[in-house]
Amino acid sequence: MVGGIYNNGAGWDNWYGFTSDKDAREMFQYDKGYFDIVKIYLNDSSDSKEFAKQLNAALEDGALYAETGQSASLLYPTMSMALKGLFNLFIIFLIMVIAIGMRSAIRMNLYQRMQEFGTLRAIGYSRIQCYGIIFNEAFFLSVGALIAAFIPAFLLNMIFSAKGIYLGPGPMSYFGGEYLYPDMHIADVALALGALAIFSLIATMNPGLNLAYQSITDIMSKRQRPVKVMRTLYRNVFRRS
pLDDT per position as a tens digit, 51-97: 888 888 887 766 677 888 777 777 766 777 787 888 888 888 887 78
Mean pLDDT (whole number) for 167-172: 70
In degrees, rounded to 5, the angle at the alpha carbon of residue 181 between the alpha carbons of residues 177 and 185 is 140
For 35-44, what is the mean pLDDT? Answer: 76
Please tell me the predicted confidence (pLDDT) of residue 168.
74
Rounded CA-CA distance 7/72 in Å is 22
pLDDT at 143: 85
Of 1-15, 125-139, 166-180, give the lowest mean pLDDT range: 1-15
- Counting residues of the chain whose pLDDT is more than 70, the rounded percentage is 79
- Over 60: is that where the pLDDT of 14 sits? no
For 171-189, what is the mean pLDDT?
Answer: 77
Q: What is the mean pLDDT of residues 110-115?
A: 79
Choose between 233 and 94: higher pLDDT. Answer: 94
pLDDT band at 9 (very low <50, low <70, confident <90, very high): low
Evaluate the CA torsion angle 231, 234, 236, 240 in order and state its sign.
negative
**72, exposed or middle or buried, with CB in 10 Å at 0-12, 13-18, 19+?**
middle
Query: CB neighbours of 144 closer than 8 A, spacing ≥ 6?
Result: none
On average, the pLDDT of the chain sits at 77
Q: Which range, 21-30, 58-67, 158-167, has the best average confidence (pLDDT)?
A: 158-167
51 close to 42: Cβ distance less than 8 angstroms = yes
Say whether pLDDT at 158 is over 80. Answer: yes
> Between β-strands 15-18 and 4-7, what pairing exists: parallel, antiparallel or unpaired?
antiparallel
CA nearest neighbour of 88 among 200, 195, 197, 202: 195
What is the structure's pLDDT at 238?
58
Question: What is the pLDDT confidence band of residue 233, given thresholds at 50, 70 and 90?
Answer: low
Q: What is the mean pLDDT of residues 101-117?
A: 80
